[in-house]
Structure formats: structure tokens, C-alpha cells
Amino acid sequence: MWRSMASLEKSSERSDITRQRKLSGTPAIFLRSWAPADGGQLWPLIHDYLKETYEAGYDVPPTGANVLLMLNMGIVAAQEGEPVVVAEAVGELLAKIVGWTFWKAAGGAVTSRKRSLVGLGTYVVPYMRRLGVAKAMHEEATKVARARGYECIDRIGILDTAGAKMLENGGWKFVAAVFRKELLCTGP
């Protein structure tokens, strides 16, 4: 059961996400927007996400530059009211971020059929996986996206991974494939 801590605004203004969910066998989980003060906790989680996805075949290596870029893009997107969510486990003395979801407006001058978001990633720390944290973050991000007038979210999923299975089970449809041609350099 969710307990709303603040309302979502139905405008282009920033949407504050603060909801609580009690998951079985876990501390209270608060869902909220990323904040600049989260950088120290998000950095290692973004690094772990990039490391895991890179090892599974995704092309973005877990470098400091890539972590910093993703962290900064997420904080800016959150300040603009995009559905950029952290899951925070709240104990008696402190709160600890245990997951994040990052969906951002598909930018640029080219328009598409629908007002779209690009899903740039979801990560949950290993000891909190399979407890519904990612699903809860996706549900919250979806509410924000709908309130802001978005019509769809596009994600890249690495085939045969837990993440891809979660997307399939969550109602995401396979709509395209990425084709790649390796270019080999034979000389300088």
C-alpha cells in the first residue's frame, strides 16, 4: 500500500515524488526525485550499473567520466521535473539510496509520433532485488510521465538478462531491434 506524501503536479513544473511503501521484510522505502545532495550515494550505484551492463554486453564502460555524465544528466532532468526516481530505505538513524530509475525526455529538434521519454537505466542494489523495488520505481516514474503528458517510454534492454525479463513482465513491448556492423581498421 502506498501512502502519498505529496501530490504530483500536472504541469510542466517540477513534480516532487515522495511516496512510501513498506515491502515485506524491508525497511520503509521512500520514492522521490533525485537531488544534488544524492551524488555521493548515487555515484557508486551508477558505477555498479554501468559495470553490470557493460559485462552483459552494453557498450558504455564504467568510467568515472561516464558515471559523472549520467549523474549530472539525471540531476538536471530531476530538477526539470522528469521521472528520475530514487528508492531510499529509511532506517531509524539514516536513509540509504538502494535504487534509481532515470527516464529523460527524448530531446533534439526532430519530433516523433508520440511525446517520448528515453529510459536511461534502472538499478537496484543486489540485496534489495526481487523485493519489488524496481517495479515500484517504474510505477512511480510512469505516474510522473503520464502527469507530464508523455505518451511512451523507449528502453534498450540487453537480451536474456533479468532486466529484459522485468521489462517483458512489466508490459513493455519489443518494437525494434538494434543492428550493428563492426568496422575493423586495417591500418592507420
Residue-range domains of the chain with CATH: 2-169 (3.40.630.30)
Q: Is 64 exposed, middle or buried (0-12, 13-18, 19+ CB in 10 A)?
A: exposed
How far is Cα of residue 90 from the mean position of the Cα atoms in its chain?
Answer: 20
Question: How high is the pLDDT of residue 109?
Answer: 63
Q: Which residue has the cell 515491502?
A: 23
pLDDT 10s digits, 75-128: 999 999 999 999 998 876 678 999 999 999 887 666 778 888 989 999 999 999
pLDDT 10s digits, 45-64: 999 999 998 998 888 999 99
pLDDT 10s digits, 170-186: 788 887 777 777 787 76
Mean pLDDT of 136-150: 93
